[in-house]
Amino acid sequence: MDRMSRSERIGVMTKILLDQPNQIYTLNFFSELFGVAKSTVSDDIVLLRRALDTFDLGTLETVVGAAGGVKYIPRPGRNRISEFILMLCDKLSDPHRILPGGFLYMTDLLFMPHIAERVGEIMAYKFNDAQPDFVITVETKGIPIALMTGKALNCPVVIARRDSKVTEGSVVTINYVSASSKRIQTMSLARRAVRQGQRALIVDDFMKGGGTAKGMIDLLGEFGVDIAGVGVMIATQQPEEKMVENYVSLIELKQVDESGRKVILEPAAWILNG
C-alpha cells in the first residue's frame, strides 16, 4: 500500500474511532496500520481532537499506561443536544400522533436508526461517568435506544422479557405493578445474562409512573446487581411522584389533549437550563 497522506490517515482514523466509541486503540495499532511513526500518529490525533471539539462532535480521550491509547467518547455539545431534542419535540407534537385513549404514537421515530443513535449518544453522555457494565431495557420499544446507548458506552445490552423464552434457559421472574394501569405484570431475565456485583444502566423509551423501571430495579436486585442510573427518552409531567427517583429524561410530556388534538412537550429541565 502506498504511503497515505495526513488527510487520508485522519479520515480512516475518524471512521475507526467513531464506529467504536469508548474502545481504546493503541498508538501502535495506528502506527502499524498506516506504516508511520507513533509521533506522527500523535500529531494526527491532535488535529482530529481539535476538529471534533470545534464542531461539538465528541472528544478523543488519551488513556495512559501499558494498555493505553486513545478512545472516542460521544460527547455532543449543549447546542447540538438542544437542537436535536427540540426537533424531536416538534415531530412528536404532531396531532396526528394522538391515539385513542390519549396515547402518543412514536414507534416510527424510535426505530429510525439515526434518531435512536442520537438519543443513545445523549444517554451515554449523561451516564458515561457512572461506568455501567451493561444497559438493560424491557422489550420491545426501548430496544433501539438501549442498543445505541450500549454502542456509545461500549457495553452489552440485556433485554428483560414480558414472557420467558425457552431459548433464554433458566430465568428469574418477578411480578410488578404497572403504575399506569395498576395491574400486576411479569418480567423475566435469564440467569446467564448478568452477574452479581455488576452495574446496570436502565434505559427505556417512556415513563409515566415509573412502574416498569421499578420492576427492572427489583428484578436486578434478585441478581445482586447495582443500579448505575435510569434514563428515559420521554417522561410525563403527571404523576409528579414516580416510583423511581433520580431518573434522567430527555423530554417532558406535559399534555395530550385528545379532544382538542393538542400535544405539549418540551425538553427536560437540564437541557433547557444548560
pLDDT at residue number 165: 80
Please say which residue of 49, 75, 101 terminates a domain: 75
Question: Is 205 within the bounds of a domain?
Answer: yes
Please say which residue of 24, 57, 75 terminates a domain: 75
Indicate if 69 and 85 belong to the same structural domain: no
Structural domain including 196 reads 78-272
Residue 13: count other Cβ atoms within 10 Å of its Cβ: 22
Q: The CATH number of the domain where 53 resides is what?
A: 1.10.10.10
pLDDT at residue number 94: 96
CA distance 102 to 85: 22
Of residues 136, 215, 141, 222, the one with CA closest to residue 179: 215
How is residue 225 annotated by DSSP? P
pLDDT at residue number 65: 79
- The predicted-structure confidence for 102-143, as pLDDT tens digits, reads as follows 889 999 999 999 999 999 999 999 999 999 999 999 998 999
pLDDT at residue number 68: 78
Indicate if 37 and 58 belong to the same structural domain: yes
- The predicted-structure confidence for 192-232, as pLDDT tens digits, reads as follows 999 999 999 999 999 999 999 999 999 999 999 999 999 99
Indicate if 28 and 106 belong to the same structural domain: no
Indicate if 95 and 162 belong to the same structural domain: yes
Q: Which residue has the cell 431518573?
A: 247
Q: The CATH number of the domain where 188 resides is what?
A: 3.40.50.2020
Confidence of residue 264 (pLDDT cuts 50, 70, 90): very high
Confidence of residue 1 (pLDDT cuts 50, 70, 90): low
Of residues 3, 139, 73, 256, the one with CA closest to residue 264: 256
Number of domains in the chain: 2
Indicate if 55 and 123 belong to the same structural domain: no
Indicate if 247 and 127 belong to the same structural domain: yes
Indicate if 142 and 88 belong to the same structural domain: yes
Indicate if 134 and 228 belong to the same structural domain: yes
Please say which residue of 23, 44, 75 terminates a domain: 75
Indicate if 166 and 245 belong to the same structural domain: yes
Indicate if 225 and 258 belong to the same structural domain: yes
pLDDT at residue number 224: 98
Say if CB 205 and CB 106 are below 8 A apart: yes
pLDDT at 180 over 80: no
68: Cβ contacts below 8 Å, ≥ 6 apart: 24, 26, 62
Question: Is 220 within the bounds of a domain?
Answer: yes
Q: By percentage, how much of the chain surpasses pLDDT 70?
A: 98
Question: Is 16 within the bounds of a domain?
Answer: yes
Question: Is 1 within the bounds of a domain?
Answer: no
Indicate if 70 and 82 belong to the same structural domain: no
- The predicted-structure confidence for 25-80, as pLDDT tens digits, reads as follows 999 999 999 999 999 999 999 999 999 999 999 999 998 877 779 999 999 989 99
pTM here? 0.93
Indicate if 245 and 154 belong to the same structural domain: yes
Question: Is 67 within the bounds of a domain?
Answer: yes
